Structure 1
C-alpha cells in the first residue's frame, strides 16, 4: 500500500500560497523549486500536530463514500455501489441498514455519493440513469426509523464514467453547497451555463441562493476538474479539494465567481483571470477526496496518496507547513469528518472502490485523536 515519500521540489511547491483571497488581477508568481526538506523537517510547522488512531469503529463496509454525524453522535455512511445508507452506532460500531436509495444507478465513479443533514432530512448526491442530482429524504433519526421517499432538490448535473464530483455540505450561511466534476469533458468546466466542473450554492430547496455571483444560477465558482471535498474554516472561508490530471492535485480557497483554471491550467500558473491553488501536491502523493476542518487546519483524505494530509490555515491563507500522516497504513482514504469537539476525526477507507486492494475487514471507519 505504501507510496514513495516526498520527491525533490514537491514539498517546496507546497509551501508557496497562491493569491486566492486577493483580486484576480494580482495572481501569484509561479513557484520556485529548491530541494525538498526531509519529512522530519516538513513536519516542524508553526504548530505541528500529532494524530493517533485509537480504534476501528466498524469494518466490512462496501464502497463507502459519504459520511455525516447525527445530532446524538451516531453516523450515517453511504455505499456508492450498493446504493445503501447505513447507520453506525458511534459507541459500539453496530451497523443498521436504512435501505437502498431509489433511483441510484452506480457506474464508474458515480453512484450514491455525498450526504448532508438538515431539519430532519438526509440530503444525498447521486447518479441516476440520466444525470447526477441532489435529493432529500425525511429521516426522524430514532430507533427503527427509515428513510422517506427521495424528493428532488437539484437535477441536471451532467454525469459521466469519471469525474462525477459528489460532495455536498451545508455552509455557515445555511445554504447547500455541492462539488461537481466535468465528467471527463474539460470544456464543461469553463462553461458557466453547465453545472459540471463547478461548486454550486443553493437554498435547501435547490434554488439559486441569494448573493450568488451569476444571477439566476446556482454556480458559485467554476473551472474545476473534479471537486470531492468541501469544508469551512473558523473564519467561515470555504476550502475545496480538487483532483488534477497528471501533475498537480489542489487545495483551493474558494471565492464566489472565481475561475479556478481547468482545463486551461493545472496547479499554479500565475496567469491573469485564473485563481491559483493555495496548496498543490504531485498526484501520486494526494488525489484528495473528502476534507474537514479541525484545530486550525484542513485535513484531506488522499486516495492514490494513501495518507491523511494536514494543512494549517488559521489566521492566513496558510499558516504552516503541510504534514502527512498514516502514509500507506490503511490504503486509500476517502472521507474525513471532524466531530463537534474538534479533537477527534472519523476517517473512512476506500479499498473496495474497485481501485484498491481490499484486505480482511475493508472498508472501515477509523477513530482518530488529534493533539497540538
Structure 2
C-alpha cells in the first residue's frame, strides 16, 4: 500500500478544486454546543446539542429551530453528552430516530419514535459502552446495507482498542434493533474494525466503501478506508508508522494534529469533506476509488472557527456545523452556526 498523503499548514489553501472560493450561506445560528445533523425524509434536519441533551428540528433549507425533545439522563462532562444522530432508512414506515449519548453509567445508543411533533420516550438499542471525559466517539450512521455503524472512542484507556472483547476503540456494526449481524467479521461480536483511538467521522462513497476520520494524539490525525475486521493500529501505531508486517492497516491521508483534529466527514461525488476542530478549517480530499488523489485542500480556513460536522444535505449542498461554544472555542456573535457549502 502506498504511503498516505500528508498535509500540513503549508498545504492549506483557500480555494476549491476549480479555483473558486467556497460559497456558503448560514442555515441556522444561535446553537449551543451542537454536535450532529441528521435529515428527515421531508428535508427537515435534526440537530443534537451536546450539553443540554436537546434535539432540535430545522425547517427545510434552514431557519429557526424548534425543540423536538430533550433526552432523559444525558450527562455532559468534558467531551461527553448527547453526540450522534441517525434517522432510520425506513423512517417513512417506522418513524425511528437514533441517538448516541452519555449517561451517568455508560455511553449508549437509543431510538425513539418521532410522530409529527411528538417524540416518544427512547428505548435502548446498545448500552454499557465505557464512557469518559474524553474520547467518547459518538458518530452513528446507517450504511448502504441498512445496518447501523458507530464510532466508539477508547475513552482514554488505550489498551481497549486492541482487545476484541472490549467494544471501545472500535467501529461497531449492529442491526437497527441492536442485535449482531451474522456476517460481522468476528462471529457474535458487534466489532467491525478495531485499533481506533477516537473515530468521529463515518461516510460511504458511491461504491459503498466506508471511510472514517480519526483523532491522533501527538503526531498525526488520519483518514482511513475501513474494511471488515481491519486493525488500524492504535495504540501501537499513530499515523503512518510500522505496520508490523502488514498486521495494521495504513491511513490514506494524515495531518499534523494542530492542522485538523478531524470530526465529522461527508462525501459528495468524489470529494470528501472533513470538519476540523483544532485546525479550524474544512479539508477537501479527492477520492479515486479506494485511494486519495493529490494534496488535501483547506477551505473555510480559520474563517468560522472550530468545525464539528460535515453532512450531505438533500439539496446537494454540504452542511457544516461550527463548534465554538463547546468550551474550547472562541464564540462570535451568532455562534454556533450551520453553514451550507455549495
TM-score category (smaller protein) = over 0.9
Residue number in structure 2 paired with 1:89: 59
Cα distance change on mapping 1:159 and 1:49 into 2, 3 Å: farther
Residue number in structure 1 paired with 2:264: 290
Q: Distance in 2 between matches of 1:243 and 1:117?
A: 25
Detail structure 1 runs of 4+ shifted over 4 Å in the superposition: 28-33, 35-40, 47-51
Residue number in structure 2 paired with 1:121: 96
Residue number in structure 2 paired with 1:226: 198
Cα distance change on mapping 1:36 and 1:104 into 2, 3 Å: closer
- Runs of 5+ in structure 1 lacking a partner? 1-18, 20-27
Residue number in structure 2 paired with 1:105: 75
CA contact (8 A) 2:5 2:292 kept: no
Residue number in structure 1 paired with 2:322: 349
Cα distance change on mapping 1:29 and 1:82 into 2, 3 Å: closer
Residue number in structure 2 paired with 1:130: 105
Secondary structure class of the residue paired with 1:319: strand
Deviation of the 1:50 alpha carbon? 4.6
Residue number in structure 2 paired with 1:16: none
Cα distance change on mapping 1:223 and 1:171 into 2, 3 Å: same
Secondary structure class of the residue paired with 1:201: strand
Q: Distance in 2 between matches of 1:49 and 1:85?
A: 37
TM-score, normalization by structure 2: 0.93
Equivalences, count: 335
Secondary structure class of the residue paired with 1:188: helix
- Runs of 5+ in structure 2 lacking a partner? none
Deviation of the 1:32 alpha carbon? 9.8
Which of 309, 318, 333 is equivalent to 1:360? 333
CA contact (8 A) 2:263 2:308 kept: yes
Deviations 1:339-370 (A, max 9, x none): 2353x11111000110001111010111110x
CA contact (8 A) 2:230 2:248 kept: yes
Q: Distance in 2 between matches of 1:30 and 1:312?
A: 13
Cα distance change on mapping 1:59 and 1:274 into 2, 3 Å: same
Deviations 1:282-313 (A, max 9, x none): 00110000001102111100000000011111
TM-score, normalization by structure 1: 0.86
Which of 157, 171, 180 is equivalent to 1:208? 180
CA contact (8 A) 1:249 1:280 kept: yes
Cα distance change on mapping 1:78 and 1:270 into 2, 3 Å: same
Residue number in structure 2 paired with 1:156: 128
CA contact (8 A) 2:15 2:22 kept: no
